[in-house]
């Protein structure tokens, strides 16, 4: 079974926020108004931020000034545990997904997530006038299912999905081309756009994959390891 | 026993049956409920667009020029990815590039050509047809030519690499005007002049970061902004983790920023003293004899004292530096401890290949010769350790070869016009300058007659220091045409707005810059132009046809695309391939051996006009000497030279002449460009970029001013206070943010906020720090003054 | 159908207890309409929220939960008053509880719907509330909540109703001069209660059994409510003490609420005799115990955190002690503990007014306590950084809905007191046993009726 | 299916939790209904015997 995982090399990362933007345009997260943004209601599935000096030592042994943070796709996610309706769940390949159709907006998952990666639609997402034209047409659908870049109704929680629609797309493509799907076919948008090439993506179950190799690095660490969530985002600190 | 066993088994079976039965009941109940509500789980699948295309293009949201691949789904551009073929970005895209669909589909774009009705600032427009617009522009230019005053036409232009720059120059030349004025004097001109006066190349140095061991950045904000930030980021990544030995990066800058945060060491330096520090480092290197003797003795000029053609003894770099820049003295000037200077000098010379990097915008534009001289001093460090044209050192940019432009037809009017003095005073008022964009306002106000002004990717009211003067200057210009895509500050004052489509809808080429080897990227319409816009190239070609005569003969092309096809016919591949790949390059930098023919032709001395092109790097600038030869010391002093004699031609430090008294105005104002919003005005109207604009301090959608936190507390300021920043030229009110990584004696305001026009997201948001900068131009070079304005800060 | 005579216990306070049922004064109408107006404003606010989204509240990232969840926890806490007084004290055999059981239980009954309403108000998509049943996952603490709270609410209704049964029957039979529909209501609700000694016997027995069950529910419900927080790994929430702490606080605020309600009833309905001052003195003792218990919990909680000195816990700790929430935190401590304890010990004895003041302070303080448990933790999440350091300012919508919830609860309570005896008549009666003679007379009478009806039937038949 | 899997799936799959909620309420309702009937029936036998005397 594939276990999707991402390695982020903080020595390379330059906090450019290309990942945040790529994510926005890949996943149709809305722009919120300045007032809303000031309230902290901006939606960036992948967020980039400076570490305060007192945390640098706590988080990366003092060896990182900035952090870029997608969903950790924990192996033992606290969010899926508490969801009362199974709107958020971990799929068989370890991706923590979110079904907007089922979500009731109780926000228990958002408070349960220690990484703050889950976002809530305080209002109906909107795009002003012609900006709507750039929305990605990719939508994950099914009976009573809508996931990924599908336009969210107000009042539901959304989050990073490792661009799972790209995985669907690549599987469909492989099938159309009558070949086996290879793990290399699929990368999330943030990995593809990373200006510093600081992101690696692949199968953690395959000991020969880049991510597995890098996970062995002496620079490797994970966020809040003490929380017991076993994140599948593996950071490499500087040095 | 047996019976007991069977009994217990029976009990167990019953119990198990009960459990199973209960679970079964639960499952059945739940399924029943769900089927009642018709909420069965079905297959989950991906629904996507009907038709899709991938079209390559090149970004224009900063000067990097990254290759892009646009995903066009059902006729809409829905996503951009980096073009993996493009060597600048290697498949990556920064936030600006990713957000570019917001530029294309921006609801505030101009939808067609407009003509001003009423007065200059009436803000009232009426639509005009393109044919009429062509007739009006052609009529105006014809009139100027008929009056024998074609030099009264001028164009201010911004970022135009590739054919567009030469095209504009050729257009104005065919009309007969020398006034093709680049905005380079706002940013990279100081570095280019510094390179010209030492290495003899009028271009920016290229840094081979990938192979370098030691990067000493003098105020170059490598990872956020500058000439080619994306290329620097790629190089930085490789330097850090792409190879066996991790390269070291040192940032010398009063502000730490992201580059300083990522650097191994950040050296806060007193603003405007980079030259002294560079020379202090040179002092240690020379004193300890750790310089490249081969280079210094065989391929440089003016290292040792020499007797010139005038038979007098001139001071050389070595003795000048040894006499004047011992680390203790430099410590007094720069605030950098002498021990640090000595250590850095040791590291820099002891870890070849090492590079000293020049700043782009900002750091060098100090308002007197200090800035250019600092560039010379920094380049001299590279020369001293022999990093010129070596792997891991400083390279020289090469370009693709294009066929020659057709010969200009004979045209007396144009010929005469081209000989006239430039509107910006470059070459006359500013003896060393090539462009003095911001000086145009003063020159016009002083009476230089411009009768037709074209603004191509230029918004001087916003982007020139003290740009408000342009409003007054524009009053004196009877005819102003803007090619802006948005109704920006300057376009507001135009008589005609002839909107150019965004870079995602037009044909244009772009040279690949920053890797050394030649290459070209191609911009092509990713989608059909959304509005009634016209490529400025096409427009001007049609204007030449309307003017007719020699002007139209100079442009034998139907449209700009065919011009491009002809100009790019020699790059080594066909048009179709270029269009498909979006880029073509001749990879692999070919190093020239020191003293070889190519060295002389391409690497050292190529662009010298008055001094020998002998392949020698000038520690003592002969070119500068020749240019200023006729001017005596008194005249030079009157112009504002802080030093005289040989010192003027050697890289030297002279104290920055600040505007504003240090006691009254304790801070130096530093306007910084961020990765998020970048340098271009229109990016401020992209809402997603506004939303991520101030990541480092957690600000979004607006301006702020950074101040050292400890010092601010001493002064009684608190984080997020509203404050006034006042310079001798005006004042602004914004939010104060306290940060750790900066010196006490500077304050920073991020660039690209405080617009008064452009669109709903840019307008009336934050402040424009450039407004209160010193508007004066540097008297020798015509460079803008970016970093010599002092300010005071007080609570609002 | 033959109407049987029903036995009703004799209660000396019957008149004063039943007095409120006779008259709905203009004051009542004024109060009710006032409360209805507040409810209306709240409904308007909720309508706004429903149309635009939860953005109209002050909640944000990372403060995803605010006043609504505070209200939820607070209402659940308030609800514990009734069950505690009537169930736990019933088990403990505290006879003095009897006059105030119903008043207390009514608080439970009328708090719980508003606790549920708080949750619905907090949901992003209240229209999908049924998803919790359709797709309920038992791993989620929220489902435990739903199970426990709905069971608690249901059981409270039954417990309350059963104990009300004899009194409804009494009103049915005794009260005249009320509208017909009202009388009809009593008839239906009384389920044909006849007050046979066996019925009383069984009623007492069931109430005793239920008291045991309700006691377990009280503990379960509030613990489960706290586990919604406790089962996350957020600093300040993830502590084993959170359950008992919530529970104790709940009982404390609930008991204080009983004091307030009793005092109001006593004053408004002139029930000085039925609600003697001794009752208040007994409650006072309880409150003193609870306040001490509460401070014990506080100290146990924060001392452990302080000595553990785990960075993320300390962030929240300092937020409360010296940070953004210090005013609320210390204010809460003063309101919940210091002043009430002083009042209760020094002033409270035989002084209902001081008791009420203490009760009000405790309840305001406990609301703040819920707030200060929930919000500071969210402002300092585990993975902290500048952007995630939230500031929470509730908006008018949240306040309007909060006020409406309280108004609704008060309204239901006020209306209830006008239709049902708020002091249990049968439980406070001298005796529930019919004496032999009375039984004999009744039997005779019934026998007589039967004969008569039979005769009448035969007579009619003959006439035909 | 091993029993542990069964138990696990009870907790983690969507559906059973909701069923538990309904289940608990229904059981409670039944019990309360029966109890109420039982209370009201108290002393009823003796009355019944009365009725046909």
pTM, 2 dp: 0.90
Q: Taking Cα atoms as reference points, which of C416, C446, C324, C444 lies closest to residue C108?
A: C416
Query: Is C54 an 8 Å CB contact of chain A?
Result: yes
pLDDT at residue number B6: 41
Name the token pair of B686.
């992209």
Between chain A and chain C, the number of residue pairs with CB atoms below 8 A apart is 161
Q: How far apart are CA A77 and CA B89, in angstroms?
A: 35
Q: Give all chains having 3 or more CB-to-CB distances under 8 Å with chain B.
A: A, C, D
Name the token pair of B345.
């000098």
Q: Which residue of B has its CA nearest to C386?
A: B698
Residue A123: partners with Cβ closer than 8 Å, 6 or more residues away: A32, A36, A154, C52, C53, C55
Q: For tokens 């299916």, what's the residue? A: D1
Q: For tokens 């909640």, what's the residue? A: C59
Q: How far apart are CA C257 and CA A143, in angstroms?
A: 49
- Which of A36, A38, A40, A145 to probe by mutation at the C interface, max C CB count within 10 Å? A40
Name the token pair of B31.
């399924």
Q: How far apart are CA B252 and CA A176, in angstroms?
A: 55
Q: How far apart are CA C444 and CA B454, in angstroms?
A: 118
How crowded is the C-beta side of B586, counted as CA atoms within 13 Å? 15
Determine the distance in angstroms separating the CA of C7 from the nearest CA of chain A, rounded to an integer. 50
Query: Is C134 an 8 Å CB contact of chain B?
Result: yes
- Residues C367-380 have a mean pLDDT of 91
Name the token pair of A93.
């390949």
Query: Is D13 an 8 Å CB contact of chain A?
Result: yes
pLDDT at residue number C15: 77
Q: How far apart are CA C111 and CA C74, in angstroms?
A: 9
Measured CA to CA in angstroms, residue C399 lies from C49, C137, C331, C376 at distances of 12, 32, 20, 19
Determine the distance in angstroms separating the CA of B48 from the nearest CA of chain D, rounded to an integer. 29
Strand partners, B206: B395
DSSP code, position B742: B
Name the token pair of B626.
């020749």
Q: How far apart are CA B72 and CA B80, in angstroms?
A: 9
Alpha-carbon Rg for chain C, nearest whole angstrom, is 25
Q: How far apart are CA B557 and CA B569, in angstroms?
A: 14
Count of beta carbons in the 10 Å neighbourhood of residue B596: 14
> Given C53, C140, C142, which is nearest A124 (Cβ)?
C53
Lowest mean pLDDT among B616-620, B688-692, C8-12, C109-113: C8-12
Determine the distance in angstroms separating the CA of D44 from the nearest CA of chain B, rounded to an integer. 37
Element (H, E) at B20: helix B2-36
Angle, CA of B347, B353 and B357, to the nearest 5°: 80
Q: Which residue of A has its CA nearest to D16?
A: A85
Q: What is the pLDDT of residues B659-668, one digit of tens each?
A: 889 999 999 9
Instruction: Label residue B42 left, alpha or beta by phi (over 0 means left) and psi (-120 to 50 means alpha).
Output: beta
Q: Is the peptide bond before B353 cis (omega within 30 degrees of 0)?
A: yes
Query: Is C387 an 8 Å CB contact of chain B?
Result: yes
CA diameter of chain A: 54
Q: Which residue of D has its CA nearest to A85?
A: D14
Q: Give all chains having 3 or more CB-to-CB distances under 8 Å with chain C.
A: A, B, D
Count of beta carbons in the 10 Å neighbourhood of residue D46: 12
Q: Using an 8 Å Cβ cutoff, are B240 and A11 in contact? A: yes
Q: How far apart are CA C420 and CA C168, in angstroms?
A: 7
pLDDT at residue number B1: 40
CB contact under 8 A, D16 and C136: yes
Q: Which residue of D has its CA nearest to C4?
A: D47
Element (H, E) at B317: helix B317-324
pLDDT at residue number B5: 42
Q: How far apart are CA C312 and CA C28, in angstroms?
A: 52
DSSP code, position B557: -
Q: How far apart are CA B445 and CA B463, in angstroms?
A: 18
Alpha-carbon Rg for chain A, nearest whole angstrom, is 17
- Which of A46, A98, A105, A106 to probe by mutation at the C interface, max C CB count within 10 Å? A106
A63 SS3 class: coil
Q: What is the pLDDT of residues D9-50, one digit of tens each?
A: 888 888 888 888 888 889 999 999 999 888 888 776 554 444
How do beta strands B45-47 and B52-58 pair? unpaired
pLDDT at residue number D51: 40
pLDDT at residue number C178: 81
Q: How far apart are CA C309 and CA C318, in angstroms?
A: 11
Q: Which residue of D has its CA nearest to C151?
A: D25
Name the token pair of B545.
């046809």
Between chain A and chain D, the number of residue pairs with CB atoms below 8 A apart is 4
Element (H, E) at B16: helix B2-36
Element (H, E) at C148: helix C141-174
Q: How far apart are CA B791 and CA B746, in angstroms?
A: 9
Question: If you count them, how many residues does chain D have?
Answer: 53
Q: What is the pLDDT of residues C37-56, one digit of tens each?
A: 999 999 999 999 999 999 99
Q: Using an 8 Å Cβ cutoff, are A82 and A108 in contact? A: yes
B787 — phi, psi (to 5°)?
-130, 30
Q: Taking Cα atoms as reference points, which of B97, B182, B69 lies closest to residue B579?
A: B69
B730 — phi, psi (to 5°)?
150, 180
Q: How far apart are CA B698 and CA B677, in angstroms?
A: 15
Chain B residues closer than 8 Å to D19 by CB: 26, 29-30, 33
pLDDT, tens digit only, all 239 positions of chain A: 899 999 999 999 999 999 999 999 999 999 999 988 888 899 999 999 888 766 666 666 667 788 899 999 999 999 999 999 999 999 999 999 999 999 999 999 999 998 889 999 999 999 988 999 999 999 999 888 999 999 999 999 999 999 999 999 999 999 999 999 999 999 999 999 999 999 999 999 999 999 999 999 999 999 888 888 999 999 998 87
Q: How far apart are CA B725 and CA B704, in angstroms?
A: 11
Residue B548: partners with Cβ closer than 8 Å, 6 or more residues away: none
Q: What is the pLDDT of residues A117-175, one digit of tens each?
A: 999 999 999 998 899 999 999 999 988 899 999 999 999 999 999 999 999 999 999 99
> Can you give B644-708 as a three-state secondary structure string?
CHHHHHCCCCCCCCCECCCCCCCEEEEEECCCCCCCCHHHHHCHHHHHCCEHHHCECCCCCEEEE
Alpha-helical (H) ranges within A94-217 are: 108-112, 164-176, 189-193, 210-215
- Residues C193-221 have a mean pLDDT of 87
Higher pLDDT, A62 or C440: A62
CA C116 from chain center: how many Å? 13
Instruction: Label residue B615 left, alpha or beta by phi (over 0 means left) and psi (-120 to 50 means alpha).
Output: left
Name the token pair of B185.
């004097």
Chain B residues closer than 8 Å to A196 by CB: 92, 233-234, 236-237
Chain C residues closer than 8 Å to A58 by CB: 311
CA diameter of chain D: 64
Name the token pair of C139.
């791993």
Measured CA to CA in angstroms, residue B84 lies from A106, A192, B388, D32 at distances of 43, 10, 29, 71
Q: Using an 8 Å Cβ cutoff, are B749 and B723 in contact? A: no
Query: Which residue ranges of chain B lie beneath pLDDT 50?
Result: 1-13, 16-17, 20, 24, 38
Determine the distance in angstroms separating the CA of C134 from the nearest CA of chain A, rounded to an integer. 8
pLDDT at residue number B7: 41
> Given D13, D22, D28, which is nearest C137 (Cβ)?
D13
pLDDT at residue number B25: 57
CB contact under 8 A, D15 and B23: no
- Residues C96-100 have a mean pLDDT of 81
Q: Taking Cα atoms as reference points, which of C244, C253, C363, C277 lies closest to residue C99?
A: C277
Q: Taking Cα atoms as reference points, which of B481, C146, B787 lies closest to residue D21?
A: C146
Measured CA to CA in angstroms, residue B189 lies from A73, B166, B361, B626 at distances of 48, 18, 9, 20
- Which of B59, B99, B697 to probe by mutation at the A interface, max A CB count within 10 Å? B99
Determine the distance in angstroms separating the CA of C389 from the nearest CA of chain B, rounded to an integer. 10
Residue C227: partners with Cβ closer than 8 Å, 6 or more residues away: C141, C144, C242, C243
Name the token pair of C204.
């007492």
Cβ burial A51-81 (10 Å sphere, 16+ → b, else e): beeebbeebbeebbbbbbbbbbbbbebbbbb
């Amino acid at each position: 079974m594939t276990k999707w995982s991402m390695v982020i090399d903080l020595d390379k990362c330059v906090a450019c926020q290309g990942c945040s933007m790529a994510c926005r345009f890949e996943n149709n997260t809305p722009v919120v108004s300045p007032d809303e943004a000031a309230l902290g209601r901006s939606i960036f599935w992948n967020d980039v931020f400076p570490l305060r000096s007192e945390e640098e030592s706590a988080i990366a042994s003092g060896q990182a000034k900035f952090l870029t943070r997608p969903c950790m796709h924990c192996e033992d996610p606290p969010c899926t545990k508490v969801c009362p309706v199974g709107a958020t769940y971990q799929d068989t390949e370890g991706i923590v997904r979110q079904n907007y159709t089922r979500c009731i907006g109780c926000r228990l998952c958002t408070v349960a997530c220690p990484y703050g990666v889950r976002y809530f639609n305080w209002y109906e997402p909107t795009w002003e006038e012609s900006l709507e034209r750039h929305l990605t047409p990719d939508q994950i659908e099914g009976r009573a299912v809508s996931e990924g870049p599908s336009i969210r109704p107000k009042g539901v929680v959304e989050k990073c999905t490792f661009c799972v629609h790209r995985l669907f797309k690549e599987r469909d493509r492989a099938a159309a081309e009558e070949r086996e799907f290879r793990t290399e076919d699929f990368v999330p948008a943030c990995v593809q756009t990373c200006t510093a090439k600081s992101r690696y993506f692949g199968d953690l179950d395959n000991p020969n994959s880049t991510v597995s190799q890098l996970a062995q690095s002496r620079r490797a660490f994970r966020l809040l390891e003490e929380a017991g969530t076993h994140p599948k985002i593996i950071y490499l600190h500087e040095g | 026993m047996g019976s007991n066993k069977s009994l217990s088994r029976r009990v167990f079976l019953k119990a198990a049956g009960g459990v199973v039965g209960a679970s079964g009941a639960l499952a059945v109940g739940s399924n029943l409920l769900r089927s009642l509500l018709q909420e069965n789980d079905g297959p989950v699948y991906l629904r996507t667009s009907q038709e899709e295309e991938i079209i390559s293009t090149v970004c224009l949201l900063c000067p990097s020029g990254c290759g892009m691949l646009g995903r066009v789904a059902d006729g809409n551009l829905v996503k951009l990815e980096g073009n993996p073929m493009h060597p600048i970005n290697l498949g990556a895209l920064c936030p600006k590039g990713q957000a570019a669909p917001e530029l294309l589909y921006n609801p505030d774009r101009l939808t067609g050509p407009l003509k001003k009705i009423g007065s200059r600032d009436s803000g009232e427009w009426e639509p005009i047809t393109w044919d009429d617009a062509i007739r009006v522009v052609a009529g105006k230019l014809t009139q100027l030519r008929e009056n024998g005053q074609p030099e009264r036409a001028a164009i201010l232009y911004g970022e135009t690499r590739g054919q567009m720059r030469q095209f504009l120059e050729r257009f104005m030349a065919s009309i007969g005007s020398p006034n093709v004025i680049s905005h380079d004097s706002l940013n990279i001109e100081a570095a280019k002049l510094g390179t010209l006066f030492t290495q003899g190349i009028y271009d920016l140095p290229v840094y081979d970061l990938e192979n370098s061991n030691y990067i000493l950045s003098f105020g170059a904000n490598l990872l956020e902004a500058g000439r080619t930030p994306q290329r620097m980021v790629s190089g930085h990544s490789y330097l850090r983790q792409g190879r066996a030995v991790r390269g070291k990066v040192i940032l010398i800058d009063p502000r730490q920023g992201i580059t300083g945060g990522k650097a191994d060491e950040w050296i806060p330096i007193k603003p405007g003293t980079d030259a002294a520090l560079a020379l202090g480092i040179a002092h240690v290197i020379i004193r300890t004899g750790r310089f490249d003797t081969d280079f210094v003795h065989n391929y440089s000029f003016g290292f040792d004292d020499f007797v010139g053609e005038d038979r007098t003894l001139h001071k050389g770099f070595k003795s000048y530096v040894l006499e004047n820049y011992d680390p203790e003295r430099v410590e007094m000037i720069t605030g950098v401890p002498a021990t640090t200077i000595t250590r850095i000098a040791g590291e820099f010379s002891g870890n070849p290949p090492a590079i000293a990097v020049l700043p782009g915008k900002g750091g060098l534009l100090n308002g007197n010769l200090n800035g250019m001289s600092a560039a010379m001093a920094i380049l001299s460090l590279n020369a001293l350790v022999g990093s010129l044209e070596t792997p891991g050192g400083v390279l020289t940019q090469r370009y693709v070869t294009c066929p020659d432009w057709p010969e200009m037809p004979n045209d007396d009017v144009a010929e005469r016009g081209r000989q006239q003095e430039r509107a910006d005073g470059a070459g006359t008022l500013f003896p060393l300058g090539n462009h003095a964009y911001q000086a145009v306002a003063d020159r016009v106000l002083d009476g230089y007659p411009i009768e037709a002004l074209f603004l191509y990717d230029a918004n001087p009211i916003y982007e020139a220091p003290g740009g408000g003067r342009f409003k007054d200057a524009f009053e004196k210009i009877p005819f102003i045409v803007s090619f802006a895509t948005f109704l920006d500050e300057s376009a507001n004052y135009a008589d005609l707005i002839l909107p150019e489509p965004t870079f995602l809808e037009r044909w244009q080429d772009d040279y690949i810059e920053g890797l050394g080897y030649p290459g070209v990227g191609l911009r092509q319409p990713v989608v059909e132009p959304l509005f009634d816009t016209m490529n400025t190239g096409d427009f001007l070609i049609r204007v030449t046809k309307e003017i007719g005569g020699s002007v139209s003969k100079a442009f034998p092309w139907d449209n700009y695309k065919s011009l491009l096809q002809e100009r790019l016919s020699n790059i080594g591949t066909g048009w179709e391939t270029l269009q498909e790949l979006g880029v073509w390059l001749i990879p692999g930098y070919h190093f020239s051996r020191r003293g070889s023919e190519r060295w002389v032709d391409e690497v050292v001395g190529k662009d010298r006009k008055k001094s020998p092109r002998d392949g020698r790097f000038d520690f003592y600038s002969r070119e500068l000497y020749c240019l200023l030869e006729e001017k005596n010391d008194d005249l030079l002093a009157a112009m504002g030279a802080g030093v005289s004699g040989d010192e003027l031609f050697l890289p030297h430090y002279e104290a920055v002449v600040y505007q504003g008294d240090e006691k009254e105005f304790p801070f130096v104002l530093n306007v910084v460009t961020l990765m998020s919003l970048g340098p271009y005005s229109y990016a401020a109207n992209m809402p997603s970029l506004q939303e991520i604009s101030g990541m480092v301090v957690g600000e979004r959608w607006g301006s702020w001013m950074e101040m050292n936190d400890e010092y601010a507390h001493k002064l009684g300021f608190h984080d997020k206070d509203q404050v006034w920043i006042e310079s001798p030229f005006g004042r602004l009110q914004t939010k104060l943010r306290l940060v750790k990584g900066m010196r006490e004696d500077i304050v920073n305001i991020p660039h690209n906020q405080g617009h008064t026009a452009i669109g709903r997201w840019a307008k009336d948001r934050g402040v424009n720090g450039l407004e209160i900068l010193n508007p004066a131009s540097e008297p020798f070079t015509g460079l803008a003054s970016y970093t010599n304005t002092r300010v005071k800060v007080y609570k609002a | 159908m033959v109407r049987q005579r029903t036995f009703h216990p004799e209660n000396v306070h019957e008149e004063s207890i039943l007095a409120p049922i006779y008259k709905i004064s203009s004051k009542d109408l004024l109060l009710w309409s006032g409360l209805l107006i507040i409810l209306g404003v709240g409904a308007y606010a909720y309508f706004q929220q429903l149309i635009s989204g939860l953005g109209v509240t002050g909640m944000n990232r990372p403060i995803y939960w605010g006043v609504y969840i505070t209200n939820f926890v607070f209402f659940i806490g308030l609800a514990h008053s009734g069950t505690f007084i009537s169930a736990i004290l019933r088990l403990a055999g505290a006879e003095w509880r009897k006059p105030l059981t119903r008043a207390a239980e009514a608080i439970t009954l009328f708090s719980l719907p508003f606790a549920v309403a708080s949750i619905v108000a907090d949901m992003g998509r209240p229209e999908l509330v049924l998803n919790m049943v359709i797709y309920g996952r038992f791993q989620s603490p929220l489902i435990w909540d739903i199970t426990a709270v709905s069971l608690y609410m249901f059981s409270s209704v039954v417990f309350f109703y059963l104990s009300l049964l004899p009194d409804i029957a009494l009103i049915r039979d005794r009260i005249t001069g009320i509208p017909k529909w009202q009388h009809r209501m009593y008839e239906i609700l009384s389920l044909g209660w006849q007050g046979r000694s066996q019925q009383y016997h069984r009623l007492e027995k069931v109430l005793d059994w239920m008291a045991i069950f309700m006691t377990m529910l009280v503990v379960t419900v509030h613990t489960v409510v706290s586990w919604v927080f406790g089962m996350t790994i957020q600093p300040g929430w993830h502590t084993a003490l959170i359950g008992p702490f919530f529970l104790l606080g709940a009982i404390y605020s609930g008991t204080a609420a009983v004091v307030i309600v009793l005092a109001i009833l006593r004053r408004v309905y002139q029930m000085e005799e039925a609600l003697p001052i001794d009752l208040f003195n007994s409650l006072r003792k309880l409150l003193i115990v609870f306040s001490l218990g509460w401070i014990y919990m506080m100290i146990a909680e924060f001392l452990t955190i302080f000595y553990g000195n785990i960075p993320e816990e300390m962030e929240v700790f300092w937020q409360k002690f010296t940070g953004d929430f210090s005013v609320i935190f210390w204010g809460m401590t003063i309101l919940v503990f210091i002043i009430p304890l002083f009042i209760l010990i020094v002033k409270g004895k035989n002084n209902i007014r001081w008791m009420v003041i203490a009760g009000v302070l405790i309840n305001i303080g406990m609301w703040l306590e819920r707030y200060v448990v929930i919000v500071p933790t969210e402002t300092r999440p585990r993975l902290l950084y500048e952007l995630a350091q939230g500031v929470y300012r509730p908006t008018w919508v949240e306040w309007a809905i909060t006020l409406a919830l309280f108004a609704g609860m008060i309204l239901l309570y006020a209306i209830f007191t006008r239709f049902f005896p708020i002091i249990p008549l049968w439980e406070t009666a001298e005796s529930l046993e019919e004496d032999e003679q009375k039984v004999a007379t009744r039997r005779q009478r019934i026998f007589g009726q039967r004969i008569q009806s039979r005769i009448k039937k035969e007579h009619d038949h003959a006439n035909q | 299916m091993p029993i542990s899997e069964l138990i696990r799936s009870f907790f983690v799959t969507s559906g059973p939790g909701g069923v538990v909620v309904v289940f608990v309420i229904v059981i409670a309702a039944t019990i309360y209904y029966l109890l109420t009937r039982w209370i009201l029936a108290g002393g009823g036998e003796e009355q019944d015997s009365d009725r046909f005397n």
